[in-house]
Structure 1
Amino acid sequence: MSVFKGLKPIVYGGREVWPLIEGGKGVAATNHASSGAWAAAGGIGTVSAVNADSYDPTGKIVPQLYPQLTRRERHEQLIRYAIDGAVEQVQRAHEISGGQGAININVLWEMGGAQAVLEGVLEKTRGLVTGVTCGAGMPYKLSEIAARFNVNYLPIVSSGRAFRALWKRAYHKVAHLLAAVVYEDPWLAGGHNGLSNAEDPRKPEDPYPRVKALRDTMRAEGVSDDVPIIMAGGVWFLREWNNWIDNPDLGAIAFQFGTRPLLTEESPIPQAWKDHLRELDPGDVLLHRFSPTGFYSSAVRNPFLRSLEARSERQIPYSRVSAGEHTVQLDVGVRGKNFWVTPVDLDRARGWAAQGFEHALRTPDDTVVFVSGAERDTIRVDQADCMGCLSHCGFSSWKDHDDYSTGRLADPRSFCIQKTLQDIAHGGDIQQNLMFAGHAAYRFKQDPFYSNNFTPTVKQLVDRILTGD
């Protein structure tokens, strides 16, 4: 096999590895089988430590059940599941790797109990985990935790500004364990993205100047050019990144693949999900803001997402008193008379009610959305069953500390992300659940490597990537 020109191994965790990192994908979409195989192929495999699966003595996945009566008790159960599952996944991945490559773990800082989970996993996997990647929030404490367990840390950022804030506040104290900085393109990456309020979700920006600005920031803070920036989001063929490799303006560069490893023999996602990836066209992945985290995220625009889009479109503002243009009282979908709307919105609301969306649910933004009886019932059950999977949840108003409430009204325009990600990862309907994917997923259909329904092993995929394709 001929390796793409200019691509050289890097030293990570005391050994040479290819600068190819497996993206650690959320709930059960990256596990020991895929990450162990990625490491065995000479790269850096990444076990997802987000509510990872455990197994019973027969090898079957242990269902994660929450019979406890209170959210706080369910949250504590979730932390126990998360630690047990991630520890088992790391141990299995390490065995599969055969001492090759390296094993990282990935956590979302905004997941519920993130710090407790991370500390619990690292305590029980000493010597097996080389580094921790962490994004979805500002993980200031990541470097402090890494220092306690003597592992590398690899923060995920989407701008030089975010890195500077992390460095100034905390990371400069643990500079020796900063192994790399992951730049995740907020317009192209799958899953939760770091798009800021100053950036337009409809106007993607070229990653090159943004990564150059990140490197300039790192240099200004005294970070060596030998600390790689890992380009994540939209990476498919390495030959398309030829001018990034051995580029003195950018320093050391590595590449993260999140979407391509979904379609491998070892990928743990269900076959229906794998099959659907082959059918996607450009534009079939939607950058949206329905996630209860409040972050933008990217997922396949299936009926599940379309129903959330439609729900938010069936929305009108109201006021508690007659004021301004709010001159008429809402007479469908609500109890009581303290809902004043515009005459135009009253007509729209009556139209939605006539179509079967006869229930109006209040949102935290002084609006109501109109839903069917079945939608209302599902929303209420899911909110009541909340197990505290996020540090702050817009859908259920859960918070994982202090008084355990965000203090805001629960938002019916969102959804229970734990429920849907667990469901799709374990064989649920791919049309009625959240299906995360990067925006380059349409390339499965175009790339001749996958023709005739070919599904590579992880080793075959890594070998293919190394050629430039």
Structure 2
Amino acid sequence: MTAASIVDPMFISGASVWPLVEGGKGVAASNGTSAGAWAAAGGVGTISGVNADLIDDNGEYVPLIYKGRDRKARHEELVEYSTKGAISQARIAHELRQGEGRIHLNVLWEMGGCERVLTGVLEGAKGLIHGVTCGAGMPYRLAEICARHEVHYYPIISSARAFRALWKRTYHKFGDWLGAVVYEDPWRAGGHNGLSNAESPDQPENPFPRVLELRKMMREMGLDQIPIVMAGGVWHLKEWMNWIGNKELGPIAFQFGTRPLLTQESPIPQAWKERLLGVAPGEVALHQFSPTGFYSSAVRNSFLNELYERSERQVAYSDDPSDADGRTVFLPYGRSNHGVYLTPADHARATAWMVEGFTQPMRTPDGTLIFVAPDRARQIRRDQADCMGCLSHCRFSAWKDRDNYATGHQPDPRSFCIQKTLQDIAHGRGDPIDNQLMFSGHNAYRFGQDPFYKGGFIPTVKQLVQRILTGE
């Protein structure tokens, strides 16, 4: 431990740096400017490679205006733009880091065209990116792609079992390029979370035994000195003193996703930054509305509340009367003589919702109807039709980025277009901030309690890193 810091430097992606990693936050929420500043402060800066903004040679943002008339054409435009965008952000980060720190690229395995984007960026930004973090799925081919381009890879997992599967299947062939394993707490991290079907979203588990289990498994694989990056729920390093230097856990680094949002270099709009300062305890919700099918964590605002309410106005139906299920009461809607059969109790509920103005039933893939207002139904259908293929599989639009470009399932109106809302909130356009998806870690309420942010103070990245190194 040095006199100036509560932690010592660590060898990450080929250099000795502070074991502080900037989390890569989705669409335009961490970019070359924030990553370059984090690296310049001596840590590991992370560019989001998820539909990154394209910056031209004059430093101007070039928005993507779709010309394609169908999803496949728009998907191709998005892949091309995303590749060029991430390369432009890598160049910015490289210039700003001034030879300090490391630069990583973050991608989501379940984003549309992930392998193509990742390969294109590593080829186009050769020598500018030192590592790749990847989660949201099981990125079996991550190790092979990174090894081929001679950059380190950092799988994001939420259980030892997940890493075992990755290692046994492919990673053991490319062990020399494994930079670290990122353990992301599925109950506390922001954005998409890796909860398994065996885990309850309402019963958070202590991360220490889960990470210790991961370390024991890594030792069996000969990975004793490969760092584990703790992500999700990290605020003050002084709260992790039993982790730092712990011989059982081995080398530990820490990832910060939410705190870097509130910095001067953070690219998110001022309104978003101001909203973070007022997040209340318990206001971040772990929900399952994402079109990815994963759990995710976001501020419980009007956007999320409408999704909760949409699903609460939901009943099971049958197309024909069913005495066995008790669905014997006919509910007409749509075309003449068209409708479905509900139980008497559900029919009464549906009738009450329609009286309240939620007159448009919409079918879900699970044999249920939700009830929404006509303008909401039109918006849902419009968003589904405008799909640009940002995910490998989208339950909202039923898009798939390969084969016949369809999942084979009915589009799910209980979800939403994630690309639309994340682009809007990141660029300060569209609906007000409270009516957009606002990803956040569950510790965001601490902005309002931490004296560092007193009076609405927003630090530079350098000031934040220096503050974190003190233990605060």
| Superposition TM-score, scaled by structure 1 size | 0.98
Give 1:218 shift.
1.2
Give 2:276's aligned residue.
277
Shift, 1:333, TM fit: 6.3
Give the deviation of 1:67 after TM superposition. 2.1
What letter is aligned with 1:32? G
Does residue 436 of the first structure (1) align with residue 439 of the second (2)?
yes
1:222 positional shift:
2.0
1:427 equivalent in structure 2: 428
Residue 266 (structure 1) aligned with residue 265 (structure 2): yes
Specify the code of the residue in structure 2 equivalent to 1:440.
Answer: N
Which position in structure 1 is the counterpart of 2:114? 114
Q: Which residue of 1 aligns with 2:415?
A: 414
Q: Deviations over 1:307-354 (max 9, x none)?
A: 000000000001122222111112356764451110010011011111
Q: How does 1:46-85 map to 2 (within 5 A)?
A: 46-85=46-85
Give 1:217 deviation, angstroms.
1.4
Structure 2, unpaired ranges of 5+: none
Question: 1:145 matched to which residue of 2?
Answer: 145
Match of 1:319 in 2: 318
Matches within 5 A, 1:181-330: 181-223=181-223, 225-323=224-322, 324=324, 325-330=326-331
> Does structure 2 conserve the Cα–Cα contact (< 8 Å) formed by 1:259 and 1:441?
yes
Q: Which amino acid aligns with 1:227?
A: I
SS of aligned partner of 1:45? strand
- Of residues 446, 451, 459, the one that matches 1:448 is 451
Tell me if structure 1 keeps the 8 A contact 2:34–2:461: yes
Distance 1:259 1:26, change over 3 A: same
50-59 or 32-41, which moves further after superposition?
50-59
Deviation at residue 3 of structure 1 after TM alignment: 3.2
Deviations 1:88-135 (A, max 9, x none): 000100000001000000000000000000000000111111000000
| C-alpha distance in 1 between matches for 2:418 and 2:336 | 29
User: Matched residues in 2 for 1:371 and 1:252: separation?
Assistant: 51
In the alignment, what sits opposite 1:467? 470
Q: Offset of 1:73 from its aligned partner?
A: 0.7
The sequence identity of aligned pairs, in percent, is 61
**CA deviation vs aligned residue, 1:257-293 (integer Å, no higher than 9, x gap):** 0000000000000000000000011111010000000
Report the counterpart of residue 95 of structure 2 in structure 1.
95
Gaps of 5+ in 1: none
Residue 462 to residue 336, structure 1, CA distance change in 2 (3 Å):
farther
Answer whether contact 2:389 2:401 (CA < 8 A) is retained: yes
Query: Is the 1:334–1:360 Cα contact (8 Å) retained in structure 2?
Result: no
Q: Is the 8 A contact 2:333 2:339 kept in 1?
A: no
Partner of 1:344: 345
Contact preservation (8 Å) 1:332, 1:350? no
Letter matched to residue 196 of structure 1: S
Instruction: Give, in whole Å, the separation in 2 of the partners of 1:309 and 1:81.
Output: 33
The answer to whether the aligner puts 1:457 opposite 2:456 as a matched pair is: no
| Pairwise CA distance, 1:60 | 2.9
Output the CA distance in 2 between the equivalents of 1:312 and 1:272: 29
**Structure 2: distance between partners of 1:12 and 1:198:** 33
Hey, what's the Cα distance between the residues in 2 that align with 1:182 and 1:409?
Answer: 35
Q: Is the CA contact (8 Å cut-off) linking 1:321 and 1:338 kept in structure 2?
A: no
For residue 387 of structure 1, what is the aligned residue in structure 2? Answer: 388
Q: In the superposition, relative to structure 1, how do residues 334 and 442 fare at CA in structure 2: closer, same or farther (>3 Å)?
A: farther
Provide the rounded CA distance (Å) in 1 between the counterparts of 2:89 and 2:169: 32
Within 5 A, what are the aligned runs for 1:150-169? 150-169=150-169
What's the C-alpha RMSD, in Å, of the aligned pairs?
Answer: 1.2
Partner of residue 353, structure 1: 354
Q: Structure 1 21/144 Cα, relative in aligned 2: closer, same or farther at 3 Å?
A: same
**Is the alpha carbon distance of 1:88 and 1:252 closer, same or farther for their aligned partners in structure 2, counting shifts above 3 Å?**
same
TM-score, with length taken from structure 2 = 0.97
